[in-house]
Amino acid sequence: MSLDYAPGGRVPRVNVLEPDLRVQGGAKLPHVFSGDVLCLCYPWQWDAGKLIARTVVPWASEWLLHFEFWKVDGVWHGGGHEPAVLGTP
């Protein structure tokens, strides 16, 4: 996993480096921004006063869990909205 954050910036950007998240059949990945940056929370759920280790890291782990379920049944069980609704991170 890659985590990119500039202090005082927006929500940290998280990418999965390995394994490749692409699935057979070319289905569009759910809950990702451009460049396959994981959509982990609503913009107002994180601010620079929060610890990345207590927010972003567990959220990324939870995203991966829901990704595995999605691969099985094609349904995103993680809640939230698709990133297009919220804009880019």
Distances (CA, A) of 66 to 12, 50, 76: 19, 23, 7
The 10s digit of each residue's pLDDT in 23-32 is 777 788 899 9
Q: Which amino acid is at 49?
A: G
pTM: 0.85
The 10s digit of each residue's pLDDT in 28-49 is 889 999 888 999 998 888 898 9
